[in-house]
A and B are shown apart, each in its own frame.
Chain A
C-alpha cells in the first residue's frame, strides 16, 4: 500500500496541443501533495495522467515516463485498467452512481473484479470504507437508499469511500471541495489528513488556504499565456512555497499579486 510517484519528462497532449510540458516531480508515499496554479495551467490534465484517465478522451495522450514505485505505468505492457485499480480518483463534482444504493456504490469496485464475497465480508468492507470517509454515522441507517439522495458533501465523501474501498495505493483528488460548502470542506480536509496515514494523496486545489492546511508539499504550475503549455514552476515543502518561495512567479501567485 501507498506508493511513490515519479514523473520523468512528462509531456501531455490533447491532439496536437501540448497542454503540459516537461514535468519532473517526485511524490513521497504517505504524504499529501497539493497542485496549485491559475486556471488552465494543466493541473487537472497532469493529475489525470497519473492514473491514465487522461487517455480516455479522444486524441489525448502522454509522453514520457510516470513511475509508480519505479514501475512505468506507460510501459507498453501495462494495462490502464490495472493502473486505475491501484490509483483511485475523486472528481471535482461528486459522482456517486445514481442507479446504485449507497452500499452498492461502495462495493462497485469489487463487483468489477468479480470478487465473490460473503455478506458479512461485504458488510465489513462497507462499514470500514464509510468509517474511513467519516460518513458511517450519517448513512448507516440508509445503506440501501440511492447515493444521489445525499447532500453534496456527503456524496463527495461517499465517492472517497468508494475509492478507498478497493484499497488503492494512491488517491488523486481534483478540486474535491470546489462544489461544497465550508463545513463539508472542513470534513473533507480532516479526512485527507487521516488518509495520508495509509495512502499517497495528491490533491488539486484552487484554494491556497486549503493547500496550506492539508499539504505536506506543494507544486506550483503556471502558463506563459493562452495556448502555451503549462509547466511545473516550483515544488517544495508547503511552508517554503507559501513563506519563502525561490521563484518570482510562485511568490507573485501565493501573495495574490498574480496578473
Chain B
C-alpha cells in the first residue's frame, strides 16, 4: 500500500488558478449587494418623504390650497419644531457626554477588574431599556423632582433667556425632556467609549508611563487622542438617537409654541413628538405637513452625520491608523 494518492499534488505551472477565488467572488458580491440594498432603501425613503411632503412644501403647485393648515408658510410651521428638536438633543449631548466619557474611562482605566466588569455589564443592560420606560420615568418621577430646580434657576439665573419666564409647576418642559434624553443616551455613549478606550494600544500607554506620565497624563496623551474619532462617532450615535426619539419626549413634554425659555410648560415641541402626537388623526394637508417635518429631521440627521465624518477625517494623518 502506498499513500501517494493522498499526497497533495504540486503545482508545475504558474498559470492557472490555485482555486478558492470563488470565496472571494461570493463575498465581494454579497458585500456589494448589501451596499446597494442599503442605498436603495435610503433613496426609497427619501423619495417617499419628498413626494408626500410636496403639498406642504409648495401648496400652490401641489395641492388645491394656497397655504398649509397650521401656519402661513411651511417654514413658519417647521422652524420652531426644528429648533425644539435641536435644543433638546443638544442639552442631552452636553449633559451625557462628559458623564459618559468619565464613566467609560473609570471602567476602562481606573476601576479594579472586580468592579469594572459588573459596572460595564449594568451599563450594557441600561442601553437595552426601551425608550418608553425612560419616558414614563421622566413623566412620573423626574419632572416633579425638577420643579424646585427650575424655580431656583429662574430666581438666580432668570436674566438668562433660557431660564426666564414663569417657571413650570409640573416640570414637563423641554429641559426635562433633554435630561431624560441624556439619561437615555448615556449608556450608549458610555458603552461605545469604553470599548474604544480599552483598545488603546498597551504599547503607547506604556510609552507615556515610561516617560514619567501620571495615569491621567497617560490618558490625555494616549487614550484620548487615540479615541478621538471613536468618541465623536459615539456622540453622533447618541445624537442620532436623541434627535429621532419619540416616546421619551412625547410622554414628558407638554408642547406649545416656541420659546427660548426652557423651563416653562406648554412651550416648545420636537419633530418626532409632534408627528407621534398628531399623525393618527391627520389626513390630507395636515399629513403632508407632518411628513415634511419628518423630511426636515431626515436632513438634519444626514447633516449631523456629515459633520461628524468631516470632524473625524480632519486629522486622519495623525489618527494612529497608519
Contact = CB atoms under 8 A, between A and B. Distances in A.
Contact of B318 (A51, A91, A100): A100
A100 B222 CA distance: 10
B318 A81 contact: no
B211 A109 contact: yes
Best-surrounded residue of A98, A112, A163 (most CB of chain B within 10 A): A98
A112 B207 CA distance: 12
Interface stretch (B6-14, B25-33, B212-220): B212-220
A231 interface: no
Contact of A81 (B203, B213, B321): B213
A148 B203 contact: no
A91 B207 CA distance: 8
Interface stretch (A82-90, A122-130, A200-208, A247-255): A82-90
Contact of A98 (B113, B204, B208, B211): B204
Contacts of B318: 98-101, 146
Name B's interface SS. helix
Interface string B52-85: 0000000000000000000000000000000000
A132 B162 CA distance: 58
A97 B206 CA distance: 11
Contacts of B319: 98-99
A146 B318 CA distance: 6
Contact of A85 (B204, B207, B211): B211
B275 interface: no
B219 to A, nearest CB: 12
Given A99-B225, A146-B318, A162 B206 contact: no
A146 B203 CA distance: 17
Given A58-B113, A95-B203, A108-B221, A146 B209 contact: no
Contacts of B148: none
Interface string A98-142: 111100000011011100000000000000000000000000000
Contact of A162 (B112, B211, B217, B225): B211
Contact of B211 (A58, A112, A148): A112
Given A95-B204, A99-B226, A88 B210 contact: yes
A146 B225 CA distance: 13
A88 B212 CA distance: 8
Contact of A88 (B208, B211, B217): B211
A23 interface: no
A166 interface: yes
Contacts of A143: none
Contacts of B210: 51, 53, 84, 88-89, 91, 163
Contacts of A95: 201, 203-204, 206-207
Interface residues of B, number: 27
A120 B171 CA distance: 58
Best-surrounded residue of B206, B207, B208 (most CB of chain A within 10 A): B207
B221 A112 contact: yes
A182 interface: no
B320 A148 contact: yes
A101 B226 CA distance: 14
A62 interface: no
B214 A81 contact: yes
Interface string A17-61: 000000000000000000000000000000000010100101000
A58 B322 CA distance: 29
Interface in A155-184: 159, 162-163, 166
B317 A146 contact: yes
Nearest to B321: A98
A108 B209 CA distance: 11
A112 B214 CA distance: 9
B206 A148 contact: no
B207 A82 contact: no
B212 A97 contact: no
Contact of A84 (B209, B225, B226): B209
Interface in B288-322: 315, 317-322
A99 B209 CA distance: 16
Interface of B: 112-113, 201, 203-204, 206-214, 217, 221-222, 225-226, 228, 315, 317-322
Interface of A: 51, 53, 56, 58, 81-82, 84-85, 88-89, 91, 93, 95-101, 108-109, 111-113, 145-146, 148-149, 159, 162-163, 166
Given A97-B225, A98-B321, 18 more contacts: A58-B112, A81-B213, A82-B212, A89-B210, A91-B206, A95-B207, A97-B222, A98-B318, A98-B320, A99-B225, A99-B320, A108-B221, A109-B212, A113-B212, A145-B317, A146-B322, A148-B322, A166-B211
